[in-house]
């Protein structure tokens, strides 16, 4: 079979442009001049007979046809790269760029203080942690994986559960000194509660309390709605009201006395944490190393509980 070298070269340039976000940066990354990269893209578009990228003076973006083409070829190019690493005996080497779509709370509370040690263990790796509220399209956005709380979204993902964590209902001593401590979840109707936005639905998360198979939903009026979990913790510690938080990463606040676990007997509801991958058969050593790192950090935090 005869192979079209220019076609493969054009696909490589397209991948670089999508990942870099511009032709200039992509050209520098793959050792071409910007004009050379532009010509390679033009040849690819002529070869496949469709316009792949919309170009303006300020930005570029994939066309609908270009996105479908990119999503189709990206896994194959990644497989070629992985096969080349294996043929060279380097499948176990952690190197290159790793781009992770990560939950902002998990990144700050669980990973941040150990990232330097992780990079120190892998000097040939560069890491991009991009905090986003939603998974989006891992392939089109150039991510190797995502780390997200909640059930996996629908789509072409391979999901691996890393852990699940309890949901705790907490308040600061300052708030309790002012408003009193509720003795039962049903008392929350008389308190200031802080809502947290579910970006998937556009509505606040419903509050439920689980104990020995019993599920008790609770409704209340809230004057404060937040969409950032780190801010939720900060304003709760500052005394703004009662909040529901994830146990992972917040036990230190409770041990220090900055937060009070209000209903330990009604805290059996659990929330999962998943690693999500594009639909590929092979995972690079850099991905495996990062997952191992995440699991170590999770185990360390759970041990503190």
CA-CA distance, 47 to 4, in Å (whole number)? 10
Q: Tell me what pLDDT residue 1 has.
A: 39
pLDDT in tens, 108-141: 989 998 999 999 999 999 999 998 877 877 877 8
Looking at 201-250, list the stretches that DSSP marks H as alpha helix, in order from N- to C-terminal side: 229-237
Predicted local distance difference test score (pLDDT) of residue 60:
76
The yes or no reply on domain 96-163+272-304 and CATH 3.40.190.10 is yes
Residue 8 has pLDDT above 80, yes or no: no
**Burial degree of 232 (CB within 10 A; 0-12, 13-18, 19+):** buried
Res 63 pLDDT > 50: yes
Q: CA separation (Å) from 287 to 137, 168, 248, 290?
A: 18, 31, 23, 5
Mean pLDDT, range 170-181, rounded to an integer: 97
Q: Compare 90 and 88 and report the one with higher pLDDT.
A: 88
CATH code 3.40.190.290 region(s) in the chain: 165-268
Is the pLDDT at 290 greater than 90? The verdict is: yes
CATH 3.40.190.290 fits 165-268, yes or no: yes
Distance CA(67)–CA(198), nearest Å, equals 28
Most confident option among 18-22, 38-42, 293-297: 293-297
pTM: 0.69
Q: CA 244 to CA 246: how far, in whole Å?
A: 7
Q: What is the mean pLDDT of residues 267-279?
A: 90
User: For a pLDDT cut of 90, what percent of the chain falls above it?
Assistant: 47
Domain 5-87 belongs to what topology? Arc Repressor Mutant, subunit A (1.10.10)
Give the pLDDT score at 174.
97
Sign, CA torsion 27/30/32/37? negative
Location of each CATH 3.40.190.10 domain in the chain: 96-163+272-304
Residue 37 has pLDDT above 70, yes or no: yes
CA distance 114 to 47: 47
pLDDT band with cut points at 50, 70 and 90 for residue 199: confident
Cα(137)–Cα(25) distance, rounded to whole angstroms? 22
From 158-162, 186-190, 191-195, the region with the lowest mean pLDDT:
158-162
Shortest CA distance to 282 belongs to which of 84, 19, 147? Answer: 84
Predicted confidence band of residue 13 (pLDDT cuts 50, 70, 90) = confident
Task: Give start-end residues of each CATH 1.10.10.10 domain in the chain.
Answer: 5-87
- What are the pLDDT digits (tens) for 214-228? 999 999 989 999 999
- Whether 305 shows a pLDDT value over 70: the answer reads no
């Amino acid at each position: 079979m005869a192979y079209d070298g220019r076609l493969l070269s054009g696909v490589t340039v397209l991948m670089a442009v999508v990942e870099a976000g511009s032709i200039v940066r992509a050209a520098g990354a793959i050792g071409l001049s910007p004009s050379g990269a532009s010509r390679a893209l033009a040849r690819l578009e002529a070869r496949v007979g469709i316009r792949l990228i919309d170009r303006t003076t300020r930005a570029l973006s994939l066309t609908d046809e270009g996105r479908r083409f990119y999503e189709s070829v990206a896994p194959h190019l990644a497989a070629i790269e992985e096969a080349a690493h294996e043929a060279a005996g380097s499948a176990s080497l952690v190197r290159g760029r790793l781009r992770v779509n990560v939950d902002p709370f998990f990144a700050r509370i669980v990973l941040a203080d150990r990232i330097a040690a992780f990079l120190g263990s892998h000097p040939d790796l560069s890491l991009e942690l991009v905090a986003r509220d939603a998974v989006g399209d891992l392939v089109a956005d150039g991510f190797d994986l995502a780390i997200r709380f909640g059930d996996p979204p629908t789509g072409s993902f391979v999901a691996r559960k890393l852990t699940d964590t309890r949901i705790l209902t907490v308040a600061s001593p300052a708030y309790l000194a002012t408003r009193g401590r509720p003795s039962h979840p049903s008392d929350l109707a008389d308190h200031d509660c802080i809502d947290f936005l579910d970006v998937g639905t556009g509505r606040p998360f419903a509050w439920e309390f689980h104990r020995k198979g019993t599920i008790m939903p609770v409704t209340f009026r809230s004057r404060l709605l937040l969409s950032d979990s780190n801010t939720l913790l900060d304003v709760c510690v500052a005394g703004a009201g009662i909040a529901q938080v994830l146990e992972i990463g917040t036990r230190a606040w409770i041990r220090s006395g900055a937060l009070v676990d209000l209903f330990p007997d009604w805290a059996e509801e659990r929330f999962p944490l998943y690693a999500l991958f594009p639909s590929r058969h092979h995972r690079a050593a850099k991905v495996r190393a990062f997952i191992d790192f995440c699991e170590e950090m999770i185990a360390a935090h759970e041990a503190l509980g």
